[in-house]
């Protein structure tokens, strides 16, 4: 019997958002308002801003999806509920968005997630209800089952819809997803603030490292990619876009706003809203309640997420406005008027632990 080979050579380095900075470049931009943030996710879909609210039950419901579309981005409705309920939400978003939001090809950014088990039934129902974007939501995208399913979705709908595959961490995974028919891929395993996948499984890659790996492939193939784990601020967004992403999907950065599902909870004079991982015990129990025949009791035995409270943030438009101000400023520092120029001009450096500390406010007692 052959003995297992133990890896003793030096391991490759994988970098996170905090480990890198962008080098400021010569700029002829006089104002942040000169920066154009339009981004193309597929031949049929262009967003005015590179922001997407992720498909989590405590982040994106009808209100969030509508508001994100009105602001120029997109919200993705989650899949862990009966098909008819999800389709009804898609129809509500389509009705409320109406003719106010559309790109140059008049495709509205109405997005919803599906899994593998419903095959094409859920996708067809959602598209008939008005969805223009289908996200095949799988925790580990580099599985034959997932690739085969995306091929079927692409074969069935052709270019009628935009297909977002995932989740990918490596260039090889992204290549296979694109080949299967995905227009875009979600990036990031285990980097979210309420995700414990890396701790539970020992697997994953820092999201920024995955962006470097996949961004180059996406640009070369004329596709797009969307990091959706661990984005905390406008600086992370700029780094992700400069690394090759076409947009980012946010959970934590949008959680706690007025438009997220759920009530405001007040504790000791402070306001909060619930924020729960899709594979937290609380969420999985709700999945079973919504689909008792499709989920067994063992479904709750393996948990890769947590649930908690996040400080109430107020209206979404204020959060988005602040994020975009920082993003536009980042583009200006790089001398880039648009995303294509950012890809061309971006120069990254790796920084030390001292550089990370220096990047944050320090040596001062901050006054709130």
**Given phi > 0 = left and psi -120 to 50 = alpha, else beta, which region is 363?**
left
Name the residue ranges covered by the structural domains of the chain. 29-264+316-347
Encode the chain (368 residues) as per-residue pLDDT tens digits: 555 565 657 899 999 999 999 999 999 999 999 999 999 999 999 999 999 999 999 999 999 999 999 999 999 999 989 999 999 999 999 999 976 665 556 578 999 999 998 779 999 999 999 999 999 999 999 999 999 999 999 999 999 999 999 899 999 999 999 999 999 999 999 887 778 888 889 999 999 999 999 999 999 999 999 998 889 999 999 999 999 999 999 999 999 999 999 999 999 999 999 987 655 445 545 545 666 555 555 555 555 667 789 999 999 999 999 999 999 999 999 999 999 999 999 999 999 988 878 887 777 777 76
**Active-site residue identified among 96, 152, 198, 286:** 286
- SS3 at position 276: strand
Q: Which residues pair with 75 in a beta bridge?
A: 53
Annotation says 286 is catalytic:
yes
Residues 6+ apart with CB under 8 A from 193: 230, 232, 251, 252
Nearest to 310 by CA among 194, 225, 207: 194
Which class in CATH covers the domain with range 29-264+316-347?
Answer: alpha beta
**Active-site residue identified among 173, 195, 225, 334:** 195
- 297: its two tokens: 């009791």
E strand spans, the chain: 20-22, 39-42, 45-47, 51-53, 74-77, 111-114, 133-136, 162-168, 184-187, 224-227, 248-250, 265-267, 270-276, 307-311, 348-350
- Other Cβ atoms closer than 10 A to 170: 18
- SS3 at position 113: strand
Nearest to 327 by CA among 255, 273, 250: 250
Please identify which residue in the block is written with the tokens 């937290």: 280
Q: Is 305 exposed, middle or buried (0-12, 13-18, 19+ CB in 10 A)?
A: buried
Nearest to 41 by CA among 115, 130, 133, 127: 133
- 296: its two tokens: 């067994």
Q: From residue 157, how far is each of 104, 107, 181 by CA, in Å?
A: 21, 15, 10
pLDDT at 306: 72
Q: How far, in Å, CA of 52 to CA of 50, rounded?
A: 7
- 15: its two tokens: 């970098």
Please say whether the beta carbons of 224 and 247 come within 8 A: yes
pLDDT at 284: 47
Q: How many residues does the chain have?
A: 368
DSSP letters spanning 153-171? HHHHHTTSSEEEEEEE-SH
Q: Is the bond preceding 167 in cis, omega lying within 30 degrees of 0?
A: yes
pLDDT at 326: 98
């Amino acid at each position: 019997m052959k003995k297992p080979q133990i890896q003793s050579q030096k391991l490759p380095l994988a970098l996170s958002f905090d480990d890198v900075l962008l080098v400021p470049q010569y700029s002829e931009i006089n104002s942040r308002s000169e920066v154009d943030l339009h981004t193309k996710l597929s031949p049929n879909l262009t967003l005015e801003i590179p922001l997407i609210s992720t498909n989590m039950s405590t982040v994106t419901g009808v209100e969030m999806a509508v508001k994100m579309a009105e602001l120029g981005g997109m919200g993705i409705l989650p899949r862990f509920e009966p098909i008819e309920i999800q389709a009804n939400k898609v129809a509500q978003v389509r009705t409320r968005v109406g003719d106010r939001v559309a790109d140059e090809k008049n495709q509205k950014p109405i997005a919803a997630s599906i899994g593998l088990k419903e095959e094409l039934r859920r996708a067809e129902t959602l598209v008939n209800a008005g969805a223009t974007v289908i996200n095949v939501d799988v925790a580990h995208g580099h599985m034959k089952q997932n690739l085969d399913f995306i091929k079927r979705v692409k074969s069935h709908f052709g270019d009628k819809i935009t297909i977002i595959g995932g989740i990918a961490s490596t260039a090889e995974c992204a290549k296979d997803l694109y080949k299967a028919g995905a227009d875009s891929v979600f990036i990031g395993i285990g980097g979210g603030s309420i995700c414990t996948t890396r701790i539970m499984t020992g697997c994953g890659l820092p999201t920024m490292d995955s962006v470097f790996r996949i961004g180059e492939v996406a640009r070369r193939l004329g596709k797009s990619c969307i990091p959706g784990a661990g984005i905390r601020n406008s600086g992370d967004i700029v780094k992700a876009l400069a690394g090759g992403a076409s947009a980012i999907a946010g959970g934590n950065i949008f959680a706690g706003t007025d438009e997220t599902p759920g009530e405001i909870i007040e504790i000791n004079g402070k306001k909060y809203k619930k924020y729960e991982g899709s594979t937290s015990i609380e969420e999985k129990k709700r999945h079973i309640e919504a689909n008792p025949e499709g989920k067994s009791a063992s479904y709750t035995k393996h948990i890769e997420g947590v649930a908690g409270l996040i400080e109430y943030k107020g209206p979404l438009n204020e959060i988005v406005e602040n994020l975009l101000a920082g993003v536009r400023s980042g583009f200006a520092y790089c001398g880039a008027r648009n995303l294509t120029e950012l890809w061309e001009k971006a120069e990254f450096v790796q920084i030390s632990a001292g550089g990370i500390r220096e990047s944050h406010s320090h040596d001062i007692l901050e006054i709130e």
